[in-house]
Every structure is written in structure tokens, then in C-alpha cells.
């Protein structure tokens, strides 16, 4: 069996997740809130690939926090599905990043079906909760993940 992929792509990151029994509800489909967990894992893995680690941010009393998220659901995923979570940075502000995240089922022929999509606004904050501007180093790492779209 091949390991699940987790890699940088042009403008962002992709990772695969397998749907397990624990992810499903009584009807056998993925419970809606689990898509948010898949997206969270993908954002974290993307940051790790950029060498941005939550423990390092915590030492600077900093963190990322979801400020706003708009979701759209497509057909459900079911047990044993292999899903791809794609994270793309669309825009970077002074203390906010704007992402697009899609949970996709990709057929053997490469056809993509959006299972759940989200426009995500992420705030960079102090541990006290107030907005904090990105440092030059952090901004350079985030911008380095993006092609000419910024």
C-alpha cells in the first residue's frame, strides 16, 4: 500500500486523507464537521512544509486563528474514500491570510469532485487575542509558497 501524500504544490499544499469508520455518521457518510478537521490538518502540514511551526509561534506569544469560514458542501464522502485536501493562499494582508481549501475526491482518470470547499480567513494574533502583523520572516515564508498570484 502506498503512503498518503503530503506535499507543496504551486501556490499551496495538498495532502491525502483516508475516510475511516470513526469519520462517518449513522448513515455511513462523513460527518460534516470532520471536513473541518481535514482542513485544519492540511493547513498545519502546509505550514510545517514552510518551516512555520506552532511551537515556535507560541514562544513568540503568537498563533493563527480562524476568523471567518464560508463552506459549500458537495456529494458526501464515504468510508474508505481517499480524499485530497488542497490548500491555496489567495491573498496575504498585514495580519490576515485568505485561503481556499477544497476537499476533493479524485478519480483514477484525474476527474475532481468537490466534496467540501471553504473560503477561509485566518488571523495572525497575539495569545491575548489581538491582531498581530506578520513579521518579515513569516511573511517571506508564506509568500514563498505562492506563485505570481500575489
Q: How many domains does the chain have?
A: 1
- Per the prediction, the chain carries an average pLDDT of 93
First to last CA, the chain: 38
Q: Is residue 80 part of a domain?
A: yes
Q: Would you say residue 147 lies in a domain? A: no
Residues 38, 115: Cα–Cα separation, whole Å: 12
pTM for the predicted model, two decimal places: 0.92
Q: Is residue 131 part of a domain?
A: yes
pLDDT by residue (tens digit) across 36-56?
Answer: 999 999 999 999 999 999 999
Residue 35 lies in a domain: yes
Task: Map residue 12 onto helix, strand or coil.
Answer: strand
Asked if the structure places residue 99 within a domain, the reply is: yes
Structure confidence by residue, pLDDT tens digits, 53-78: 999 999 999 999 999 999 999 999 99
Whether 1 is covered by a domain: the verdict is: no
- The domain in which residue 29 lies consists of 6-142
What's the confidence (pLDDT) of residue 149? Answer: 46
Q: Quick check: is 136 in a domain? A: yes
Q: Any idea which residues carry the catalytic annotation?
A: 25
Tell me how far apart the alpha carbons of residues 17 and 82 are, in angstroms, rounded to a whole number. 6
Is residue 150 one of the residues assigned to a domain?
Answer: no
- Interior angle at CA 135, CA 134 and CA 138, nearest 5: 80
Which CATH number belongs to the domain containing residue 108 in this structure?
A: 3.10.129.10
Amino acid at each position: 500500500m502506498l503512503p498518503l501524500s503530503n506535499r507543496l504544490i504551486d501556490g499551496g499544499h495538498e495532502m491525502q486523507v483516508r475516510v475511516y469508520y470513526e469519520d462517518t455518521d449513522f448513515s455511513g457518510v462523513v460527518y460534516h464537521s470532520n471536513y473541518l478537521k481535514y482542513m485544519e490538518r492540511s493547513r498545519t502540514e502546509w505550514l510545517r512544509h514552510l518551516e512555520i511551526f506552532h511551537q515556535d509561534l507560541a514562544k513568540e506569544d503568537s498563533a493563527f486563528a480562524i476568523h471567518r469560514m464560508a463552506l459549500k458542501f458537495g456529494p458526501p464522502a464515504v468510508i474508505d474514500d481517499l480524499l485530497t485536501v488542497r490548500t491555496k493562499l489567495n491573498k496575504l494582508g498585514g495580519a490576515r491570510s485568505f485561503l481556499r481549501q477544497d476537499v476533493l475526491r479524485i478519480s483514477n482518470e484525474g476527474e475532481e469532485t468537490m466534496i467540501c470547499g471553504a473560503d477561509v480567513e485566518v488571523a495572525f494574533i497575539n495569545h491575548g487575542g489581538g491582531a498581530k502583523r506578520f513579521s518579515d520572516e513569516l511573511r517571506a515564508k508564506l509568500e514563498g509558497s505562492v506563485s505570481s498570484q500575489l
